[in-house]
């Protein structure tokens, strides 16, 4: 038995006995320092060998077919502990090229989230472009499926490969992460600084959220703010930490709310019911869709505008009804991360008139994303049927 085989056997034992656990590294808003979410990282402390680096055991897990089990355990444990944290916080998970080519990946992620009652709208999947080089077909299907479930897709290590621009133009990313090697070299090397500034500008011009990785100094953070970068991750804001350290970390960086301003939380079910009631209108062409783009409720005027029977819009994907695509959902999620409004869409209808469409996020009192409102505004006559093309 060689060293890799022995490591694989020990890793399997660690996974069986809970020896590998998730650590959480914060991703913050550079504008105000608020924590937006965490990247979830695998950490293995062997009772005999001590800490074993992910750079050592992740390739072995990939080679010996243990990555799926590792991801599943990380997700389920992270979902369980994060259920008690503020509901606006997302969790980012790294998915390997091998896993991305597995047609069952999205189903397994959905099951893990469902079993732990964790909303997939809070799940961000991070991939590298090496997952697409050999074959684009199955990875694209996997990403589309994940988006339809409500997940956000991020390109990790941006700038280190050969064809990043190609993938940005063909795949439904909401977020790109600037590789730490460029960020850490910004202060000493002008070319690295120019590369980071160019990536930030490119990402924002494409409607993508941009996260700068590897931020370790205040000088680096100041440079990034000057470039217009909104999101960052690195030791300056927090090292990867075990789950039991997260509540104290959050209480230290987020000011406690004034007790007089606290609201009684409304359940997701009750909020969805209230939104459905709001859609019961003959005057406004409005609908509510979940984070994955499925219409949950729609007004009579909306159904008339869509030229469908009353109530028939519910249960259908929004892109079956109006001229948006699954990629639009990715853009919505990116705008939400950047705390920016989604621009009005102007679409032509079947009868030749123009309609302006407003799509806005709907959140509960704890800032958890419930879905989006879709409203026709302006010249479209709700009483004239016509599907937007």
In three-state secondary structure terms, 106 is helix
Contact yes or no for 29/230 (Cβ under 8 A):
yes
Q: Helix (H) and strand (E) counts for the chain?
A: 14, 15
Supply φ then ψ for residue 124, to 5 degrees.
-110, 130
Say how far apart CA 297 and CA 292 lie, in whole Å: 14
DSSP one-letter string for 255-320: PPPPGGG------HHHHHHHHHHHT--SS--EEEE-TTSBEEEE-HHHHHHTT--TT-STTSBGGG
Helix/strand/coil percentages in the chain, nearest 5 = 40, 25, 35
* Catalytic site residue from 39, 213, 331, 368: 213
Query: Given the DSSP bridges, would you call strands 241-242 and 286-289 parallel, antiparallel or unpaired?
Result: unpaired
Q: Which of 89, 90, 79, 143 lies closest to 113 in space, CA to CA?
A: 79
Say how far apart CA 132 and CA 142 lie, in whole Å: 11
Give catalytic status of residue 126 as yes or no. Answer: no
Q: Which residues are catalytic?
A: 213
């Amino acid at each position: 038995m060689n060293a890799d085989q022995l490591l694989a056997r020990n890793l399997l034992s660690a996974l069986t006995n809970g020896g590998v656990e998730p650590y959480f590294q914060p991703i913050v808003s550079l504008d105000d320092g608020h924590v937006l979410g965490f990247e979830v990282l695998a950490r293995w402390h062997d009772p005999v060998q001590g800490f074993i680096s992910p750079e050592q055991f992740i390739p072995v897990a990939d080679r010996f077919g243990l990555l799926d089990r590792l991801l599943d355990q990380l997700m389920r444990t992270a979902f369980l502990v994060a259920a008690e944290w503020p509901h606006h916080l997302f969790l980012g998970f790294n998915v390997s090229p091998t896993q991305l080519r597995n047609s069952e990946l999205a189903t397994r992620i959905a099951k893990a989230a469902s079993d732990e009652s964790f909303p997939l709208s809070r799940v961000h999947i991070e991939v590298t472009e090496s997952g697409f080089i050999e074959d684009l077909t199955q990875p694209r299907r996997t990403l589309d499926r994940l988006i339809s479930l409500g997940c956000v897709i991020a390109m990790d290590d941006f700038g280190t490969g050969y064809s990043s621009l190609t993938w940005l133009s063909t795949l439904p990313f909401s977020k790109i992460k600037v590789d730490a090697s460029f960020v850490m070299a910004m202060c000493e090397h002008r070319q690295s600084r120019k590369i980071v500034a160019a990536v930030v500008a490119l990402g924002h011009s494409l409607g993508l959220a941009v996260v700068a990785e590897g931020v370790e100094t205040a000088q680096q953070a100041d440079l990034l703010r000057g470039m217009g970068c909104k999101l960052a991750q690195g030791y300056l804001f927090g090292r990867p930490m075990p789950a039991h350290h997260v509540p104290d970390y959050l209480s230290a960086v987020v000011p406690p709310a004034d007790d007089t301003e606290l609201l009684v939380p409304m359940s997701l079910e009750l909020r969805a019911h209230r939104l459905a009631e709001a859609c019961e209108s003959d005057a406004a062409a409005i609908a509510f869709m979940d984070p994955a783009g499925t219409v949950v409720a729609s007004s009579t005027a909306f159904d008339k505008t869509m030229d469908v029977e009353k109530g028939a819009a519910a249960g259908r994907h929004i892109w079956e009804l109006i001229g948006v695509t699954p990629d639009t959902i990715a853009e919505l999620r990116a705008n939400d991360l950047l705390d920016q409004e989604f621009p009005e869409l102007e679409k032509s209808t079947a009868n030749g008139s123009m309609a302006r469409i407003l799509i806005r996020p709907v959140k509960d009192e704890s800032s958890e994303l419930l879905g989006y409102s879709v409203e026709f505004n302006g010249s479209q006559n709700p009483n004239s049927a016509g599907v937007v093309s």
